[in-house]
Chain A
Amino acid sequence: MAELLIKNGFVVDPSQKMNGDVADIAIRDGTIVEKVGSDAKVIDAKGKVVMPGGVDIHAHVAGPKVNAGRLMRPEDKLFKSPNAQEHYRVEMGFSIPSTFKTGYDYARMGYAFVMEAAMPPLHSPHVHEEIHDTPIIDEAALPVFANNWFVMEYLKKEEIENTAAYVAWLLSATKGYGIKLVNPGGTAAWAWGLNCLSIDDPVPFYDITPAEIIAGLIKTNEYLGLPHSIHIHQNSLGVPGNYKVTLDSLKIAEGVKANNKFDREQVMHSTHIQFHSYGGDSWANFESKAKEVMDYVNTHRNITVDLGCVTLDETTTMTADGPFEHHLNSLNHLKWANTDVELETAAGVVPYVYDKDIKVCGIQWAIGLELGLYAKDPSRTFITTDHPNAGPFTRYPRVIKWLMSQKAREATLDSLKYCSKVIDATDLHGIDTERTLYEIAQMTRTGPAKALGLSHVYGGLGPGLDANVAVYDLDLNNMPTDPEEIEKAFSRALWFVKSGQVVVKDGEITHHGNKRTVWVHAKVRENHQVTRDIQDKFLKNYTLGIGNYPVWDHLAPNPYVIEVDGEA
């Protein structure tokens, strides 16, 4: 790999407070360094924007429900798959791309890292098989915990230490990254066909509430000092009026301080907040509560959010929120896949068309953008589409365009059939904020890297960081007046260097990179009770042997393990 010099670009790197400074980025052996020798290969970035590689904090890119979506949607490929680049693997699918297309498309957009947002522990070998087959981009996966029998049993008795021991064991067994909560308690209720729609609905049989699960897992997370905070998909997703539940859940984090050695400040990451910022009490009077939700987030520094922007595409929804998918299915009557996973979780998949001719879809689209525009601290508000739920990740450049250009927003607003009703139900029409490239870099690079506790690896261009550098065809001094040019530039990086290797040139893949699997190994004191409990449940309730549960090392052939000393 040797040495590389990216010269004379407009460097936009919030981690170093660089806002378009013309500078060189030097790379040696995959790492950013102060300078390189004169033999270094030179990439001329003069007049172009240079950013750190993108960091996606939340996307469904690998694992059983993603693959269920691929499997059950052949029509997502027919005439919708671009032709493969010569000498590279075929690229199939639009809303749920194949693993190869996933890796290639992230690289083309200049992304270096993506977090698989929900890993069912029992299926973790599957998640890692897919990660293994996704080229270039580094990946980690969040196991889901909030409907897990062990967790509910320990937390009911307020046993944080035992919960922590179990979490640590499971993170190692599944090669997972952190604590994901999806519809706490609600998914467990779904195993009997029920749900928990508020944070005080008791979970059937377990006699614990979602609020207690959330609070307990925040404590557990900070007890262990994990790099990431808890990452929560709240109760009552997608339901009119749910913003109250959202605020109730966010309040659980009040007063809790982050405890970790990874420079993380938040104790709760609330994901795809768009789906949780709904007012009204039915689809008829459905309206935006983006302002109310964002006002709260703006004033509480120990919370981060990602947007989950609706992109107005035909897509495939998939979530561990099993009861939600069943509910969605009763609205659109399309095919419905569901998997309840023994002792752990569930998941559902339903295709969905965000139709410009449907009022609700237009309002959802507007809410996502309102949230992105209302955020006072872009480094705590991250761009996502909850891929593929609100739209495929390949639409990030479009979301960026909307956030950067009021003109682009207005054009889309005008194209909605119920434009005036969308204007009535949201504030979007009146917002003239236009995000800058610096803020976009905060929302897609520096911010998410810090929230994940990975700012020592990703999200910046300072010496010592991983050499992930994207060069975009944008002239800082002469930004395009046509917003489409912004979308185009972010869709296809001119250059993308991943871990020091040029993997994209002129928007085309040139190399398969050297992808890594990132996971967390948390060391805790030996806990005999938890060990016994685990063995007991595998004997009595699981249908596979405990010896066959932990993910083999060879499924993650290029691991990047973050050691956490939970005993300290």
Chain B
Amino acid sequence: MATIRMKPVKTPDLFLECFCISPDVFAGKTPTEISRLEVREGKARNELGDFFDIAGSSGKTAEETDIFIDGDCSRVKYIGSKMTAGSVTVNGNADMYVGGWMKGGSIHVRGNVDSFCGLAMEGGEIQIDGNAQNYVGCAYRGDWRGMRGGTIRINGSAGNDIGTFMLGGTIIIEKDAFIHISTHAEGGTVVIKGDVQSRVGGQMVKGDIYVFGTIEHMLPGFKEIGTVDKNILGQSMKFRHFIGDLGERHPKKKGREIYGNLYLRAS
């Protein structure tokens, strides 16, 4: 493995749009070549090297390339977007679209991220040590094909719209979430280890939701059907099992309707 080390040296006036910060793009390039990659700040065309010191070396392929950014990227968008392999580590915060449209590899942000983290993700792993804003693992506007695979783990809290239009993969929020979990989902798993305010599983067709804490307002479209023991993320627990959204359409399998599952930890 080879590592490209980046250190932020200048804060942009606005925000940097960096589709290029990805092992797929860096692979096979020298630090000098990488520093010349185009980044945009609105209309302004800049080079990556205008904002980061870049050192180290890249691997021949994305798989063999690690990227380590030592510093704050609060004003840097699209880190690790569309990547297929390798890794990106940010020793600080990152802005929107971390791991958007990601297909493989791993991303680790040691601070917080803004919204749209893991947008339309298909594979790979994202780990955020801090909090995430809204729209974690959701679909791009209008697309019915949301997150399809991979894992997103937020060690802190997250806002609204987690796993909207999710089709597959796993999202884990270690702390609390606000509203709208797995809205319109047709698959995938969302685990909220803390509390959720409301609107869990609205318009959900299929998929699984686990809430370890409390749900302040349960939707009327969810019906409790019993208690189950489940082992989730290595923890065995007793859950109240709800199915829903009963207001939504559901596919049939062998004549029986398939519902979304909501598992609420039994107190």
> Contact residues of A with B, CB < 8 Å?
72-76, 78, 333-335
**In whole Å, how far is B260's beta carbon from the nearest beta carbon of chain A?**
15
Residues of A within 8 Å of B141, CB to CB, are: 74-75
The answer to whether A75 touches B143, judged by C-beta atoms less than 8 angstroms apart, is yes
The answer to whether A75 touches B140, judged by C-beta atoms less than 8 angstroms apart, is yes
| Further pairs besides A74-B142, A75-B143, A78-B140: 14, Cβ < 8 Å | A72-B142, A73-B142, A74-B140, A74-B141, A74-B143, A75-B140, A75-B141, A75-B142, A76-B142, A78-B143, A333-B249, A334-B144, A335-B142, A335-B144
With CB as the reference atom, state the residue of chain A lying closest to B82: A79
17 contacts between A and B (CB under 8 A): A72-B142, A73-B142, A74-B140, A74-B141, A74-B142, A74-B143, A75-B140, A75-B141, A75-B142, A75-B143, A76-B142, A78-B140, A78-B143, A333-B249, A334-B144, A335-B142, A335-B144
Most chain B CB atoms below 10 A, which of A74, A75, A76, A334? A75
Most chain A CB atoms below 10 A, which of B140, B142, B249? B142
**In whole Å, how far is B252's beta carbon from the nearest beta carbon of chain A?**
13
The list of the 3 closest CB pairs from A to B, nearest first, reads A75-B143, A74-B142, A75-B142
Q: How far is the CA of A333 from the CA of B203 in the complex (A)?
A: 13
Secondary structure call for the B interface = loop
Q: How far is the CA of A245 from the CA of B207 in the complex (A)?
A: 43
With CB as the reference atom, state the residue of chain B lying closest to A76: B142
Q: How far is the CA of A78 from the CA of B119 in the complex (A)?
A: 13
Q: How far is the CA of A76 from the CA of B145 in the complex (A)?
A: 12
Residues of B within 8 Å of A74, CB to CB, are: 140-143
Secondary structure call for the A interface = loop
Contact with A along B236-255 (1 / 0, CB 8 A): 00000000000001000000
> Which residues between 125 and 141 of chain B lie within 8 Å of chain A, taking CB atoms?
140-141
Residues of A within 8 Å of B143, CB to CB, are: 74-75, 78
Residues of A within 8 Å of B142, CB to CB, are: 72-76, 335
Q: How far is the CA of A334 from the CA of B144 in the complex (A)?
A: 7
With CB as the reference atom, state the residue of chain A lying closest to B101: A79
Q: How far is the CA of A78 from the CA of B141 in the complex (A)?
A: 9
Q: How far is the CA of A75 from the CA of B142 in the complex (A)?
A: 6
Q: How far is the CA of A72 from the CA of B143 in the complex (A)?
A: 10
**In whole Å, how far is A396's beta carbon from the nearest beta carbon of chain B?**
27
Residues of B within 8 Å of A73, CB to CB, are: 142
**In whole Å, how far is A203's beta carbon from the nearest beta carbon of chain B?**
30
Q: How far is the CA of A333 from the CA of B205 in the complex (A)?
A: 11
Residues of A within 8 Å of B140, CB to CB, are: 74-75, 78
With CB as the reference atom, state the residue of chain B lying closest to A77: B142
**In whole Å, how far is B53's beta carbon from the nearest beta carbon of chain A?**
31
Residues of B within 8 Å of A78, CB to CB, are: 140, 143
> Which residues between 38 and 74 of chain B lie within 8 Å of chain A, taking CB atoms?
none
Residues of B within 8 Å of A335, CB to CB, are: 142, 144
Residues of B within 8 Å of A72, CB to CB, are: 142
With CB as the reference atom, state the residue of chain B lying closest to A332: B144
With CB as the reference atom, state the residue of chain B lying closest to A333: B249
**In whole Å, how far is B123's beta carbon from the nearest beta carbon of chain A?**
17
Residues of A within 8 Å of B249, CB to CB, are: 333
> Which residues between 164 and 185 of chain B lie within 8 Å of chain A, taking CB atoms?
none
Q: How far is the CA of A526 from the CA of B144 in the complex (A)?
A: 54
With CB as the reference atom, state the residue of chain B lying closest to A78: B140
Q: How far is the CA of A75 from the CA of B141 in the complex (A)?
A: 7
**In whole Å, how far is A79's beta carbon from the nearest beta carbon of chain B?**
8
Q: How far is the CA of A72 from the CA of B141 in the complex (A)?
A: 9
Q: How far is the CA of A74 from the CA of B142 in the complex (A)?
A: 6
With CB as the reference atom, state the residue of chain A lying closest to B186: A333
**In whole Å, how far is B75's beta carbon from the nearest beta carbon of chain A?**
23
**In whole Å, how far is A272's beta carbon from the nearest beta carbon of chain B?**
26
Q: How far is the CA of A333 from the CA of B184 in the complex (A)?
A: 12
Q: How far is the CA of A72 from the CA of B249 in the complex (A)?
A: 21
**In whole Å, how far is B8's beta carbon from the nearest beta carbon of chain A?**
28
Q: How far is the CA of A76 from the CA of B143 in the complex (A)?
A: 9
Q: How far is the CA of A551 from the CA of B158 in the complex (A)?
A: 52
Q: How far is the CA of A74 from the CA of B143 in the complex (A)?
A: 8
With CB as the reference atom, state the residue of chain B lying closest to A75: B143
Q: How far is the CA of A333 from the CA of B206 in the complex (A)?
A: 14
**In whole Å, how far is A401's beta carbon from the nearest beta carbon of chain B?**
29
**In whole Å, how far is B16's beta carbon from the nearest beta carbon of chain A?**
20
Contact with A along B138-161 (1 / 0, CB 8 A): 001111100000000000000000
**In whole Å, how far is A97's beta carbon from the nearest beta carbon of chain B?**
16
Q: How far is the CA of A333 from the CA of B141 in the complex (A)?
A: 17
**In whole Å, how far is A44's beta carbon from the nearest beta carbon of chain B?**
39
Q: How far is the CA of A490 from the CA of B141 in the complex (A)?
A: 34
With CB as the reference atom, state the residue of chain B lying closest to A351: B144
Residues of A within 8 Å of B144, CB to CB, are: 334-335
**In whole Å, how far is A81's beta carbon from the nearest beta carbon of chain B?**
13
Residues of B within 8 Å of A334, CB to CB, are: 144
**In whole Å, how far is B215's beta carbon from the nearest beta carbon of chain A?**
27
With CB as the reference atom, state the residue of chain A lying closest to B141: A74
Q: How far is the CA of A75 from the CA of B120 in the complex (A)?
A: 11
Residues of B within 8 Å of A76, CB to CB, are: 142
With CB as the reference atom, state the residue of chain B lying closest to A71: B142
With CB as the reference atom, state the residue of chain A lying closest to B145: A75
Q: How far is the CA of A194 from the CA of B240 in the complex (A)?
A: 44
**In whole Å, how far is A12's beta carbon from the nearest beta carbon of chain B?**
42
**In whole Å, how far is A433's beta carbon from the nearest beta carbon of chain B?**
39
Q: How far is the CA of A335 from the CA of B203 in the complex (A)?
A: 13
With CB as the reference atom, state the residue of chain A lying closest to B143: A75
Q: How far is the CA of A335 from the CA of B142 in the complex (A)?
A: 9
